[in-house]
Amino acid sequence: MHIDYLLHLGDNALILGQRNAQWCGYGPALEEDLALANNSLDLLGQARLLYQHVAQLKNDGKTSEDLLAYWRDVPDFRNYTMLELPHCLALHPGAVAERDFAVTIGRNFLYSALMVLVWQALATSRDAQLAAIAAKSLKEASYHLEHARDWVVRLGDGTDASHMRMQAALAHLMPYTQEFFSASPMETAAAQAGVGADTSLLKTQWDGLVDDTVRAATLQRPASAGFVSTGKLGVHSEHLGYVLAEMQCLARAHPQAVW
């Protein structure tokens, strides 16, 4: 069964959706506040559909979308490490995380460039429900990519300050994109079963999307070398625990609560 693979896709959407929602009320302009909240809402919708699908496949009478979102802990999550990072550059110990719009935009760009390709590949998945979710999500990811791409170009090809910050954000994020293409048993099994997408086959196209945008933005493409993060294997950065604490505390304080 490809439960872990579906959780990987769902957790990616949920965790990035939760992160982007942290801009609600803090956007640099009202329009961007709305844009990031809309982006979050789309990701939350994708996560719900994937979790509902997992619950239906498991059919054990207890797994539900709420159980998957609110009652699992850090090692159970299968999202890419990049998606759980705070909206800022690497911090020295004790520093307070500020929201850096360039990091938010850079991450949305790198991730949605991947997901446009992944959803497109999954639209022909042997899992019919996953294929249906992919066909819907593709439309949303394309819109997210367009939005993030426009901002990468605008900031990169903007003032000296915006150029510098966009470049720093990409340098910070790019090493984490290695995880998009590193092999894992969960992904290999899903791809071999004709259910999942083999991201190694999508890398050339993804590189093309990134290079094209970086060039238009007058930026340099940073190296993606060094440590390969392992969030999708359940081994996360120190940041995910804080994301979950905020996201899950209400559900855990009031178990079984309904609207």
Q: Which of 57, 58, 63, 66 binds another protein (CB under 8 A)?
A: 66
- The size of the chain, in residues, is 259
> According to CB under 8 A, which residues from 190 to 209 bind another protein?
205, 209
Sequence-separated (6 or more) residues with CB below 8 Å from residue 145: 109, 112, 113, 115, 116, 209
> According to CB under 8 A, which residues from 137 to 166 bind another protein?
137-140, 142-143, 145-147, 149
Nearer to another protein, 40 or 81 (CB): 40
DSSP state of 223: P
What amino acid is encoded at 220 in this protein? Q
Cβ(79)–Cβ(8) below 8 Å: yes
What amino acid is encoded at 141 in this protein? A
Q: Which of 57, 58, 63, 64 binds another protein (CB under 8 A)?
A: 64
Q: Which of 22, 52, 178, 200 binds another protein (CB under 8 A)?
A: 52
Q: Taking the CB of residue 70, how many other CB atoms lie within 10 A of it?
A: 16
The Cβ-side half-sphere exposure at 228, using a 13 Å CA radius, reads 9
**Site for another protein (CB under 8 A): how many residues?**
47
Nearer to another protein, 147 or 239 (CB): 147
Q: Taking the CB of residue 248, how many other CB atoms lie within 10 A of it?
A: 16
Sites of contact with another protein (CB under 8 A): 31-32, 34-35, 37-39, 41-46, 48-49, 52, 55-56, 64-66, 116-117, 120, 128-129, 131-133, 135-140, 142-143, 145-147, 149, 205, 209, 212-213, 216, 259
